[in-house]
Structure 1
Amino acid sequence: MTPDMEQQLQALLDKQAIMELINAYCNAADRHDNEKFRSLYHEDAIDDHGSFFKGLAMDFIDTLPDIQANMEILHHNVTTVNIKLDGDRAEGEVYILAFHKISTEEGPLDLLIGGRYFDKYEKRNGEWKFTYRAVDADWAHLHQPSLVNLKNPIIDGAHIGRPGPEDPSYSIFDLLQWGQR
């Protein structure tokens, strides 16, 4: 294998590791798995979630139980991902569609956000993690009351996703376990 091919292979491996990090973030958000969240950020990482929080990611994770308390459904979908590598650091622009069903005093509402994450990553001790993540909202669609109907006969008998360890994925999977990337 030539040095150029070795460099290309390493770039592919690094980008795959970053993609797995991005996907693990979505899983942790949707399952409200805050311990998994902690494993995705370096200790000195910054998270910028706009009005919710801006500061150390570990402090942001401490606020998540309160933020997530009224979220009946979270469903993150990654679409376009642009990653630029520079040795053991990288930057990424990650397009996202994030659906939220939120309980309010007036009843549940649906919020669909199309946005992007502006990420910085570093590989330390051989592992890629976030050093910075900012949320960008490009558009949002709000509907109140909620249009979600999980009692519709067309989905009768289907597994229904839930936040936390009651989600059916935890009883089905052996390899994709709670708290793991």
Structure 2
Amino acid sequence: MDTEQQAMRELLDREAMRCCLARLARGEDRRSAELIRTCWWPNARFDYGVHAGDFETYLAWVVPGTDAIKDTQHILGQSHIELAGNMARAETHVLSYHRVDMGSGDRDTCIGGRYLDTFERRGTEWRIIDRVLLYDFEQEWGEAADWSRGVMGYPFSDQHFPGRAKGDFSETWFEGNWFDGGKP
């Protein structure tokens, strides 16, 4: 393989891993076992410091998730990826928001950290074979916003604006023939 072909292969491999990371964050936020399974090899392991084990242990922890954690959002930052044949290591910055039922009302929290992922390519597909989560900070943001009042003093004009707190409009937004001018 010449230098240009090698560079293109590496570019495509890195993009496949970034897509895997984004799909996983989307799956975790929706507690979708179907999406999450497309990101991990069945024999994968994880260690989040507060919980560790094999992939099935991870999946049972995330889906359906604890009732106390009502809503999450994972925002991914830059990924530093080092390739080595069919293996790769990636460090990806993450901010994760959580709305937590504390028994006396909902609280909003944010965790900042980094995923240390070992990826493995099997055939043409890259998936996670091992993940460690490093924590850089945790911040309690206080009492959760009351979505029935809108935001910043402005009421919502429709029920879908508060995101997953009232269902997930993005799921229906992607359905239909939107590329042909249809609406969800």
The one-letter code of the counterpart of 1:160 is: P
Q: Would you say how many aligned residue pairs link Structure 1 and Structure 2? A: 171
Of 138, 161, 164, the match for 2:163? 161
Aligned twin of 1:106:
104
The SS at the match of 2:143 is coil
Query: Which amino acid counterpart does residue 163 of structure 2 have in structure 1?
Result: G
User: CA offsets per residue over residues 120-161 of structure 1, 9 Å max, x none?
Assistant: 000102100000111111011013332x23222436125222
Q: How does 1:1-181 map to 2 (within 5 A)?
A: 3-51=2-50, 53-65=51-63, 67-146=65-144, 148-150=145-147, 151-152=149-150, 153-154=153-154, 156-157=156-157, 159-162=161-164, 166-174=167-175
- Secondary structure of the 2:128 match is strand
Q: Compared with structure 1, are the counterparts of its residues 66 and 17 closer, same or farther at alpha carbon in structure 2 (3 Å cutoff)? A: closer
Gaps of 5+ in 2: 177-184
CA distance, structure 1, for counterparts of residue 10 and residue 49 of structure 2: 32
Cα pair 2:108 2:142 within 8 Å, conserved: yes
Superposed CA RMSD: 2.0
Are the structure 2 counterparts of residues 42 and 155 from structure 1 closer, same or farther at C-alpha, using a change threshold of 3 Å? farther
Contact 2:31–2:65 (Cα < 8 Å) also in 1? no
Structure 1 stretches lacking a partner, 5+ long = 176-181
Does the residue aligned with 1:29 lie in a helix, a strand or coil?
helix
Question: Is the contact made by 2:31 and 2:64 (CA closer than 8 Å) also made in structure 1?
Answer: no
Provide the C-alpha distance between the structure 1 equivalents of 2:77 and 2:63, rounded to a whole number of angstroms: 27
Shift of 1:79: 1.1
Distance 1:39 1:163, change over 3 A: farther
Where 2:162 maps in the other structure, the secondary structure is coil
Query: Which of structures 1 and 2 has the larger relative contact order (alpha carbons within 8 angstroms, sep 6+)?
Result: 1
What is the percent sequence identity of the aligned residues?
23
In the alignment, is the contact (CA less than 8 A) between 2:68 and 2:100 conserved in 1? Answer: yes
Distance in 2, Cα, partners of 1:42 & 1:145: 38
* Aligned-residue offset at 1:18: 0.3
Partner of 2:181: none
With normalisation by structure 1, the TM-score equals 0.86
Deviation at 1:71, TM superposition (A): 1.8
The list of structure 1 runs, each at least 4 consecutive aligned residues, that deviate by more than 4 angstroms after superposition, is none
Larger radius of gyration between Structure 1 and Structure 2: 2
Q: Which SS does the other structure have where 1:67 is aligned?
A: coil
The letter for the 2-side match of 1:171 is T
1:10 CA displacement? 0.2
Matched residue SS, 2:103: coil
Determine if contact 1:30/1:163 at 8 Å carries over to the other structure. Answer: no
